[in-house]
Amino acid sequence: MKNLCLLVVATTLVLAACDHPKDEGGGTPPATADAQKGEVVASYDGKKVTSGDILKEIERLPAPSRAYLTDPQRKRQFVENMALNDLLYTEGAKANLDKDPEIERQVTDLRKRLVVQRVMRQYQTPPEISDADVQKQYDDNPNLYSTTQVRASHILVKDEATANEILAELKEHPDKFETIAQEKSIDTTTAKKGGDLGMFGQGRMVPDFEKVAFSLKVGELSPVVKTQFGYHIIKVTERKEGERKPFDQVKEQIRASMRNKAMQDRIQGHYDQLKKDANLKIDDDALAKVTPPAPQAGAPGLPGATPMMPSGH
């Protein structure tokens, strides 16, 4: 029974390593005659596994899995499964499974994801925020960085034109806020509650939303507020005043928030430019006719829209 458990775990470790194909094509065997330098540790079917081959595979594992392989028997099983994995691939290739359309589609999808991830890295380097910029942010926003709490509701839509139409209607009929939220807000979680977000303190919402929410008086409507989630109309329904926090207490919080916002703005700006340059157009009427298939029984559902994500404070 112990050996069986070791085999199962070691197989899992090898398969986990194989989730990162060497050439993105999924077919390069892990062991070749001259792939890696080092002492020959194992041989099979005319191929050799060197110490360099083994170390390369181990380095691709997460740290806890590497620690697991310090046990000699588990390490031996890992090498056996490197060979088995290659032999099974060869068996499948002889049956032309490596040319299976579904496998090729998955490899293509994986290649695209890896390329996108590599491209995105250049936009995810946090910018430097100077002490002077942090101080200015604190001084320019007297309503922020305090223990004040508000209860707010919002209506979220995907485009500015719709948001402006709703805002105009609300100015004439402010009592319709909850009804319009239920009918038109794309934040399905809060729409059911008339847009109510509940009571929250500072640091819970994204900066652009939070800056406006904490500047409003009870019952006051905001102008249209743009965030990465869409266009919001905000209404504060309750307010509990608190004390402003000392600058030294919130300085690093402000810096982190400014850094995150600058990075998000840079990414969103690049997205917007890409769509503009490509002249992206979506036919909403045609899209409305596309009906996703019903989820299979027991399959996990998609997470609901949650537009007010923590801001990283």
Q: Which pLDDT belongs to residue 39?
A: 94
Per-residue pLDDT of the chain (313 residues; tens, 9 = 90+): 434 333 434 444 444 444 444 333 344 444 444 544 799 999 999 999 999 999 999 999 998 888 889 899 999 999 999 999 999 999 999 999 999 999 999 999 999 999 999 999 888 888 899 999 999 999 998 878 889 999 999 999 999 999 999 999 999 999 999 999 999 999 999 999 999 999 999 888 988 999 999 999 999 999 999 998 999 999 999 999 999 999 999 999 899 989 988 998 889 899 999 999 999 999 989 988 998 887 665 544 433 333 343 343 3
Instruction: State pTM to two decimals.
Output: 0.57
Distance CA 58, CA 77 (A): 13
Torsion of CA 99, 100, 104, 110, to 10 degrees: -120
Which amino acid is residue 159, in one-letter code?
D
> Rounded to whole angstroms, how far apart are CA atoms 267 and 258?
14
pLDDT the model gives residue 24: 39
Burial track 199-227 (b if 16+ CB lie within 10 A, e otherwise)? ebbbbbbbbbbbbbbbbbeeeeebebbeb
Q: What are 67's two structure tokens?
A: 């620690």
Number of other CB atoms surrounding residue 262 within 10 Å:
15
Q: In this predicted structure, what is the pLDDT of residue 207?
A: 87
CA distance 202 to 213: 10
pLDDT single digits (tens) 113-135: 999 999 998 888 888 999 999 99
| Domain edges within the chain | 2-121, 131-248
Contact of 48 with 40, CB cutoff 8 Å? yes
pLDDT of residue 297: 57
Identify the sign of the CA torsion 189, 195, 197, 199: negative
Burial of residue 142 (number of CB atoms within 10 Å: 0-12, 13-18, 19+): exposed
- What architecture (CATH level 2) is domain 131-248? Roll (3.10)
CA 234/CA 277 separation, integer angstroms: 32
- Do 312 and 210 contact (CB within 8 A), yes or no? no
The per-residue pLDDT for 8 is 38
